[in-house]
Structure 1
Amino acid sequence: MKRIETAFEHLLFSSRWLMAPVYFGLVLAMVVLLIKFTKEVFHIFSEIMTATGGELITGVLSLVDIALIMNLLIIIMFSGYENFVSKMEDLHSHRDRPDWMGHIGFSDLKIKLIGSIVAISGIELLKGFMNVAKLEDRELAWMVGIHVTFLASGVLYALMDRLHGGGKGH
């Protein structure tokens, strides 16, 4: 019976590698976002002489939005892989290795995720305000409501994390 238990535990432990293709899929998502980013840069430059200031700001906010999402994907891929799949031992001495790599736990990852969602929602809301003439009041109200919901969720999650003890020393 002990052999069956040990074999089952090894199977469970090995199943963490089923997440590796998921992280690779996130790499592919970054490629898609890079293409979208490049398309947006070309769009901004192609209309630089005819676009209004608001349109240019909205274009730049779209670039910032994509950059935030890509940064978030990197954090999720690195910390998720190291926390749930395998340590990146060969990269510990790499000179370009980010300082935070290997130090972000699951709780930190969730806080960064909700923080990024709030930031992305804020950028979308700002883009909405830049195009307020094109939006109905109802659409704008939904955008504000969703942003406030994300913001309140983020604050409550951070408070819960702090109360649980995950925010020691922050």
Structure 2
Amino acid sequence: MSQIPENPSASEGIERALERGLFASRWLMAPFYVGLMIGLLALMIVFVRDLVGFMVKVPTAKEADVILGVLTLIDLSLAGNLVIMVVFSGYENFVSKMEHVTHRDRPEWMGSIDFSALKLKLLASIVAISAIHLLKAFMNVGAMTDREMTWLVVIHVTFVVSGVLLALTDKLSGSAK
């Protein structure tokens, strides 16, 4: 049985070139993060619009309407925080470290959130946003059907259970290492 002699230098060169190309492809994610920052700008515009509309109505608003207005602002703020977490940690985990950003206000978690922790933080934010939507729905209970309310509760419980299961899975896999 004759073996075909391999040219190790040629195959190693191809392998290195392929690996460099694959590694460089991580930069394809950068435009996604720029797009998310544009989405954050859109959230800010909606926040300012809602804040101005809310402040105009406050002097004559009922207490429940003020609470709903504040909950809407909190909801938008949480969504903005979610975008920032995804952009910063996603960029640092998958594209490049932000080593050149040495501002004194740099968040402590930057550079230290791994993918598992990011998933938990994202799910916690989603649960919080879902809880705010649910609370707003309960405060406007007459505006929704029983079926719609049931679905909101089911969706929220699904998010909560998913978060608990994800945390348990991460804890179990961490203890197995």
TM-score (norm 2): 0.91
Residues in 2 aligned to 1:31 and 1:148: alpha-carbon distance in whole angstroms = 30
Q: Paired residue for 2:6?
A: none
Q: Paired residue for 2:122?
A: 113
TM-score (norm 1): 0.94
Which runs of 5 or more residues in structure 2 are unaligned? 1-10
SS in 1 for 2:104: coil
The percent identity for this pair of structures is 55
Q: Which structure 1 residue ranges, 4+ long, deviate > 4 Å from structure 2?
A: none
Q: Paired residue for 1:40?
A: 50
Q: Paired residue for 2:174?
A: 165
Q: Are 1:13 and 2:23 an aligned pair? A: yes
Give the superposition deviation at 1:120.
0.4
Equivalent AA in structure 1 for residue 51 of structure 2: V
**Number of aligned residue pairs:** 167
Give the superposition deviation at 1:133.
1.3
Residues in 2 aligned to 1:123 and 1:46: alpha-carbon distance in whole angstroms = 23
Give the superposition deviation at 1:138.
0.7
Over alpha carbons, which structure has the higher Rg?
A: 2
Give the superposition deviation at 1:73.
1.1
Q: Paired residue for 1:50?
A: 60
Equivalent AA in structure 2 for residue 101 of structure 1: M
Give the superposition deviation at 1:115.
0.5
Equivalent AA in structure 2 for residue 43 of structure 1: G
Give the superposition deviation at 1:29.
0.4
SS in 2 for 1:89: coil
Equivalent AA in structure 2 for residue 103 of structure 1: S
Which runs of 5 or more residues in structure 1 are unaligned? none
Give the superposition deviation at 1:50.
2.8
Equivalent AA in structure 2 for residue 78 of structure 1: F
